Amino acid sequence: MCEDKQIQQQHQRTMNKVRSIWKSFTALEQSEGVGAKVRRAIGTMQLRNFTPFLMLDHFTVAPPAGFPDHPHHGQETITYVLGGMIAHEDFTGSHGVLRKGDLQFMTAGKGIVHSEIPVKLDSNEPAVGLQLWVDLPAHLKNCEPRYRDLRQSETPVARPHDNLEVRVISGNSYGVESLHELAYTPVSFYHFITSSAGTSFTQAFPDNFNSFMYVLKGAVKVNGKVFPQYSSIFFKADGSHVEGVSASDNAEFALIGGEILDQPVVQYGPFVETSREKILEVFDNYQSGLNGFENAPGWSSSISHGIAEDRVADFEEVADH
């Protein structure tokens, strides 16, 4: 009973309190994949991880650059296309194309090898977007791989007042709720779009969620401080919500939260486990083609050398995997 009372008191202290800022910095551009440029907000020396998040890349990639055949284990990835088009293919036979506004939730689980390549558009527009890596709870590290492609039309939009639009990708914002069961690890993902400076916003997060903001365009004022484009702002889980105002016209930002996982993070590139021993085992499985990587030896994607716009229809995914 005493413990229940302490929990209730803690909850009351965080109710209706704005979350304070723990850390902030500007995501610097770096090279990744084959010729791609990314701004990495999570996954560098500045911030290795922010449970349950392992990486956030704001990528810009144009042919012939891309992310050719590579493995994953023990994590989920969320890819959000903001411009251009991306083709994807993996060793299970899954393949498809993500257009502007589309998302893909991929659970690597025990193992996947896939390729993500920008479509060579007639307009020469590069593929631009966000890719978020999310840790899996220890008991799900070896689950079967799965995909959930989310089309732009499937993400509802909240318009709570003039000059503010929120794409509700995962979670609930201003009473508008997303589709459910997009990822195994509970994640909230919102794309805020403002049209004029001084536009206020607020977003609630559960007590057991970490949360952060990434500024895509313009500038945002949070807790009295102005953060310019490419700023990454990480919040303490000491309040019920995040709030602020746009500090420029046409400001855009992602507000993302996820359930805090109380487990070690041992990462070797795209392999994520809870101990060094398990990482070594996964790496051996990948090299030997075992325990989830049976299809890896000898597999190569058909898009690793590029895909033209007139071939897109051949890669349209018929159903979710």
DSSP track, 189-248: EEEEEESSTT-EEEEE--TTEEEEEEEEES-EEETTEEE-TTEEEEE-S-SSEEEEEESS
Pair of tokens at residue 191: 């794309």
Measure the CA–CA gap between 213 and 255, rounded to whole angstroms.
5
Contact of 36 with 59, CB cutoff 8 Å: yes
114 is in an annotated binding site: yes
Measure the CA–CA gap between 103 and 152, rounded to whole angstroms.
7
Pair of tokens at residue 178: 């997303």
The CA-to-CA distance between both ends of the chain, in Å, stands at 45
Measure the CA–CA gap between 299 and 297, rounded to whole angstroms.
6
Pair of tokens at residue 73: 């284990």
Supply φ then ψ for residue 175, to 5 degrees.
80, 0
Q: Judging by DSSP bridges, how do beta strands 112-120 and 307-308 pair with one another?
A: parallel
Q: What residues contact residue 109 under an 8 Å CB cut-off, 6+ apart?
A: 73, 74, 136, 140, 141, 142, 143, 144, 145, 146, 292
95 is in an annotated binding site: no
Three-class SS of residue 128? Answer: strand
Radius of gyration, alpha carbons of the chain: 20
Using CB atoms within 10 A of its CB, is residue 168 exposed (0-12), middle (13-18) or buried (19+)?
buried
Measure the CA–CA gap between 180 and 281, rounded to whole angstroms.
33
Show binding-site residues for Fe cation.
70, 72, 114, 116
Show binding-site residues.
70, 72, 114, 116
